[in-house]
Amino acid sequence: MPKQSRTEHDYVIVGAGSAGSVIARRLIDQGFSVHILEAGPADDDPLVHSPQGWPALLRSPPDWALTTVPQRHADDRRLYWPRGRVLGGSSSLNGMIYIRGHRSDYDSWAYGGCPGWDWESVLPYFLRSEDHLDGPSAWHGQGGPLPVSRITDRHPAAEAFVAAALSLGHPPTDDFNGERMTGVGFNHVTVRDGRRMSAWRSFMAPVAGRPLVRVSTGARAHRVLLERGRAVGVEYALGGMTHRAYAASEVILSAGVVGSAQLLLLSGIGPAAHLRRTGVEVTVELPGVGENLHDHLLVSNVYEASRPLPPGRANVLESQLFAATDSRRPGPDLQPVFLHLVYPAESYPAPEHGYTIAPGLVRPLSRGTLRLASADPEAAVLLDPGVLAEPHDLESLVDAVELSREIGNSGHFADWYRAEAAPGPRARTRNDLRAYVRRAVGTYHHQVGTCRMGQDSLSVVDPELRVHGVPGLRVADASVMPSVPSGNTNAPTIMIGEKAADLVLHQA
């Protein structure tokens, strides 16, 4: 592939998703020039901007539509992983739920070797991003780039879910981002005036026309350019040509849990034995690259409805529950979410009319790996999250299924309930439910961890997000999370972008 062009800016950012959009905006606001490389197209698909459009985006052009290797503990199935391939990244594809996670998630990061990432240190970054319709408070910010709203025109079936959980003794929670996370309630969402507010729309669209900004869409990053051991730019493919984007200050990888680790490996930064086997020249031995891959797990309890449900006006994912399998836990580890449509369970019947209570596990113990299949930068990577490898994950997810069934059997759904389609009436025992989970488990779309932050020998970046052993190179996205927070990962990834911007500017 012939080389065509060379550009230079103060910073090169790979990925225009939840973290990359934030970092770019903050650097531009301080007068620095930024070149953003995004593998996907512009966010001009109308479905991206509709709060109800996200189910139709799955397996569509803005979706990487990744697939894992066969998962031994999940009936040897290959699991489908949606990931955003568009301006805004997965924030242009997700369900728009705004959840920060539990304070203990971040305190555990700090205790594990990441000082400055405890709850009290990161909360100001969450607040800085927000423009919450509730106004400013101890728990919310106002005036930031990211609109956050409450769901006001609620779906009656989502209200039935909340009423059913309350009747079973689950406490009400008015704000999952407030003082108490555990309980049942309605979500806050990144929606304003009936439109999705992705990270790109919120942070970058208002400034994308400034002279300091260059945005290259359809640009597939192939490797980080190193000179005398320092990162100086990125080589990428665009329009059948190879280009080089140079950075006078730093290269920042915000390509996500898959893309950032893949790019490090393609650049010869990673476990030496694996790189040699794959035909990649080793530049920096960093054994933790691609380790620690994990994800929130989800299954679908599907219910056939006696009649069509009315269409919703919000994000389809209006209400949910946070609960703990053990009351001694500092925070929740289960997150069943309600959908007023059929979200099919793999290999189970999908009724024409129905709704779904989706049991979710948000504190998994299983860990896996990301590896290159070859030295070809266009080749798909090998994703092995080790789903359900830890027996505790299986048991906890079965607990979530049982909890969700209790809610689904409540009389509060009498207006719609006809039958349980999955796991179905034949699933009576706990062993039956274990088989159901193995057969139907999938993703909550919250993959993290492949460029883990820390100070030990298997960490990839330090607490300032600098890649160990490679000056001029940082990673800032969900891949740096040591462990996944107890909730949806979009807000935490935006927070990482906010903190990363401060770290970069402090050294500028």
Question: Does 416 have pLDDT greater than 90?
Answer: yes
Q: In which element (H, E) is residue 439 found?
A: helix 430-440
Please, are residues 45 and 283 in contact by the beta-carbon 8 Å criterion? Answer: no
Look up the pTM and report it: 0.97
- Cβ-based neighbour number of residue 396 at 10 Å: 24
Q: In which element (H, E) is residue 67 found?
A: strand 66-67
Question: Does 436 have pLDDT greater than 90?
Answer: yes
What is the rounded average pLDDT of the residues 371-377? 97
What is the rounded average pLDDT of the residues 55-82? 97
Phi, psi of 409 (to 5 degrees): -85, 0
Query: What pLDDT does 1 receive?
Result: 60
Residue whose tokens read 């990211």: 146
Question: Does 2 have pLDDT greater than 80?
Answer: no
- Beta-carbon contacts of 392 under 8 Å, excluding residues fewer than 6 positions away, are 365
What is the rounded average pLDDT of the residues 436-442? 98
Query: What pLDDT does 3 receive?
Result: 65
Burial of 62 (0-12, 13-18, 19+ CB in 10 A): buried
Strand partners, 234: 224, 245
CA dist 67 and 132 (Å) reads 36
CA dist 115 and 108 (Å) reads 10
Q: What angle do CA 305, 309, 312 make, to 5 degrees?
A: 140
From the list 315, 312, 235, the residue with the least C-alpha distance to 268 is 235
Q: Taking the domain 8-506, which CATH number applies?
A: 3.50.50.60
The pLDDT confidence band at residue 125, using thresholds 50, 70 and 90, is very high
> Residues annotated in the binding site for substrate, as ranges?
444
- Cβ-based neighbour number of residue 413 at 10 Å: 21
- Domain map of the chain by residue range? 8-506
Question: Does 231 have pLDDT greater than 80?
Answer: yes
| Percent composition of the chain: helix, strand, coil (DSSP 3-state, to 5) | 25, 25, 50
Strand partners, 172: 184
Question: Does 475 have pLDDT greater than 90?
Answer: yes
Please, are residues 185 and 175 in contact by the beta-carbon 8 Å criterion? Answer: yes
**Secondary structure (DSSP) of 136-184:** S-SS---SSSEEEEE--S--HHHHHHHHHHHHTTPPB-S-TTSS---EE
Of all residues in the chain, what percent carry a pLDDT higher than 70? 99
Question: Does 372 have pLDDT greater than 90?
Answer: yes
- Measuring CA to CA, how many Å separate 310 from each of 53, 156, 337, 341, 418? 16, 8, 18, 10, 16
Burial of 239 (0-12, 13-18, 19+ CB in 10 A): exposed
What is the rounded average pLDDT of the residues 259-271? 98
Catalytic residue chosen out of the listed positions 102, 222, 446, 506: 446
> Residues annotated in the binding site, as ranges?
86, 444
The pLDDT confidence band at residue 320, using thresholds 50, 70 and 90, is very high
User: Taking the mean position of all CA atoms in its chain, how far away is CA 150?
Assistant: 21
Burial of 286 (0-12, 13-18, 19+ CB in 10 A): buried
Per DSSP, the three-state class of 358 is: strand
What is the rounded average pLDDT of the residues 340-354? 95
What is the rounded average pLDDT of the residues 198-226? 98
Query: What pLDDT does 414 receive?
Result: 96
User: Taking the mean position of all CA atoms in its chain, how far away is CA 324?
Assistant: 22
Please, are residues 286 and 269 in contact by the beta-carbon 8 Å criterion? Answer: yes
From the list 465, 460, 478, the residue with the least C-alpha distance to 252 is 465
> Residues annotated in the binding site for FAD, as ranges?
86
Of all residues in the chain, what percent carry a pLDDT higher than 90? 98
Q: What angle do CA 167, 169, 172 make, to 5 degrees?
A: 85
Gyration radius (Cα) of the chain, Å:
22
Phi, psi of 128 (to 5 degrees): -65, -35
Question: Does 201 have pLDDT greater than 80?
Answer: yes
User: In the 8-state DSSP scheme, what is residue 412?
Assistant: G
HSE on the CB side for 180, CA within 13 Å? Answer: 12
Residue 274 known to be catalytic: no
User: In the 8-state DSSP scheme, what is residue 204?
Assistant: I
Q: What is the pLDDT of residues 130-183, one digit of tens each?
A: 999 999 999 999 999 999 999 999 999 999 999 999 999 999 999 999 999 999
How would you label 145-165 residue by residue, b for 16+ Cβ within 10 Å and e otherwise? bbbbbbbeebbebbebbbbbb
Task: Tell me the CA end-to-end span of the chain in Å, nearest whole number.
Answer: 35
The overall average pLDDT reported for the chain is: 97
